[in-house]
Amino acid sequence: MTQSVADVMSCRPVLAHVDHSLAEAAKRMREKNVGALPVVDGDELVGIVTDRDLVARATARDADPAITPVLEAMTRHVVFCRERILIAEAAALMARERVRRLAVLNRDRELVGIVSLADITRIDDVGTRAAAAALQVICQPTPNAAKAPPDEEDPTGGRARGSPAGTLHVYAERPRRRRP
């Protein structure tokens, strides 16, 4: 398993804009058969919105999907990696951050793809085992989440939290949208 993330990621992911309606985001998810869209504001990657976000933050709260902007339902916690890192490193990062997808950036910090646990699973037997091992970690209840009170704003129930402060690979380099 010597491939890099660039070899297995989904290239040029479908994006949502912060001002798009949730209904528009849901349509894009349906058309492309994906569960998550990176969210951009102009040239900046500012979040990610999943099908689950739409349900937990709009339907459950009675926000009208036709007029509620993606901005109000997206998750701002975006974990990213560089396109040249090895698959094993990507799986380890997912396990550590307890996420199933990573945004992939090139050397110019432009968003070039999304790599998911499913992408890693499909590579070969080694990839499948690495993904299963990551899933074991991701699905464990976190000590931090157990201690913290349930967060109404967080549809993941706190599982995406749990890394010590200062170590998160989160939007620290201000990744950008790639220009065609």
Partner 1 sequence: MQISNVMSRNVQIIGPDQTLREAAAAMKRLDAGVLPVGENEKLVGMVTDRDIAIRGIAEGKSADAKIRDVMTQGIRYCFEDEDVDHVAENMAELQVRRLPVINREKRLVGIVSLGDLATQGSLPKTAKALHGISQPGGQHNQTTAVRA
Residues that bind partner 1 (CB under 8 A): 22-23, 26-27, 29-30, 33, 35, 51-52, 54-56, 58-60, 62, 64-66, 117-118, 121-122, 125, 128-129, 131-133, 135-136, 138-140, 155, 157
Helix ranges (DSSP H) in the chain: 5-8, 22-32, 51-57, 87-97, 117-121, 125-139, 143-147
Q: Which is nearer to partner 1, 55 or 168 (CB)?
A: 55
Which residues lie across from 116 on neighbouring strands? 101
Least Å distance between CB 144 and partner 1?
15
CB of 8 to partner 1, least distance (A): 12
Largest CA distance in the chain: 47
Residues 6 or more apart whose CB falls under 8 angstroms from that of 89 comprise: 81
Residue 176, classified by CB atoms within 10 Å of its CB into exposed (0-12), middle (13-18) or buried (19+), is: middle
* Nearer residue to partner 1 within complex by CB, 18 or 34: 34
- Nearer of residues 53 and 105 to partner 1, judged by Cβ: 53
How crowded is residue 149: how many other Cβ atoms within 10 Å of its Cβ?
Answer: 7
- 34 vs 169, beta carbon nearer partner 1: 34
For residues 56 and 105, which CB has a smaller minimum distance to partner 1 in the complex? 56
Minimum distance, C-beta of residue 166 to partner 1, in the bound complex (Å): 27
Least Å from the CB of residue 41 to partner 1? 22
| CB of residue 61 to partner 1, shortest distance in Å | 8
Nearest partner of 104 among 166, 176, 42, judged by Cα: 176
Cα–Cα distance between 168 and 72 in angstroms, integer?
Answer: 22
